Amino acid sequence: MQKITPFLWFDSQAEEAMNFYVSIFRNSKVLTVNRYGEAGPGPRGTVMTASFLLDGQEFVALNGGPQYKFTPAISFVVNCETQAEVDDLWDKLSAGGREDQCAWLQDKFGVSWQIVPRVLIELLNDPDPAKAQRVMAAMMKMKKIDIAALQRAAAQGENT
């Protein structure tokens, strides 16, 4: 059992969300599904909690009712190696949701994700502050991150 586990409160879509996420990420699977019984508070037989792995990281989802909603104040960062991985995750997670600025999206359940290519972090931490600022300026114009455009921005001015 991992020390810290993200716990997601859904109205009534915990099982649907779990199955959606497990279908997207490699090395993912459903671990357990617990259902409400006679004692409630949810309707008997409906999902109370569901635990699952996403790329080896354990999550728990709860059907807790409509009292709480997700906000972008909490998000999950997914570090990607390639543009193909960024594109695939972006397309799947944003389907039915909303694309936001600078690698952020909200999925159809309202959960916020950041789909971040590792090269973005490397370029933003470049020892040349002018290069890092060009990359930042390019990123600020993007929703889904375009690695080639970041690399072009980083390279501008290098041959002058």
The pLDDT value recorded for residue 101 is 96
Where a domain ends, among 69, 87, 118?
69
The pLDDT value recorded for residue 159 is 58
The pLDDT value recorded for residue 160 is 47
Query: In 101-143, where do the E strands start and end?
Result: 104-106, 112-117
- Starting at the edge strand that comes first in sequence, how are the strands of the sheet with 47-54 ordered? 7-10, 57-63, 47-54, 29-35
Residues 61 and 11 in one domain: yes
Tens-place pLDDT, residues 56-88: 999 999 999 999 999 999 999 999 999 999 999
Question: Mean pLDDT, to the nearest integer, of 142-159?
Answer: 92
Tens-place pLDDT, residues 89-111: 999 999 999 999 999 999 999 99
**What proportion of the chain, given as a percentage, has pLDDT over 70?**
98
Query: In 36-134, where do the E strands start and end?
Result: 47-54, 57-63, 75-80, 98-99, 104-106, 112-117
Rounded to an integer, what distance in angstroms lies between the CA atom of residue 108 and that of residue 69?
13
Please state whether beta strands 47-54 and 7-10 pair in parallel, antiparallel, or not at all (unpaired). unpaired
CATH number reported for the structural domain that contains residue 114 in this entry:
3.10.180.10
Give the range of the structural domain holding residue 151, as residue numbers without chain letter. Answer: 70-160
Residues 57 and 92 in one domain: no
Residues 75 and 63 in one domain: no
- Looking at every residue in the chain, the average pLDDT score rounds to 96
The pLDDT value recorded for residue 40 is 81
Helical ranges in 6-115 per DSSP H: 14-24, 83-94
Residues 75 and 64 in one domain: no
Does 48 score more than 90 pLDDT? Answer: yes
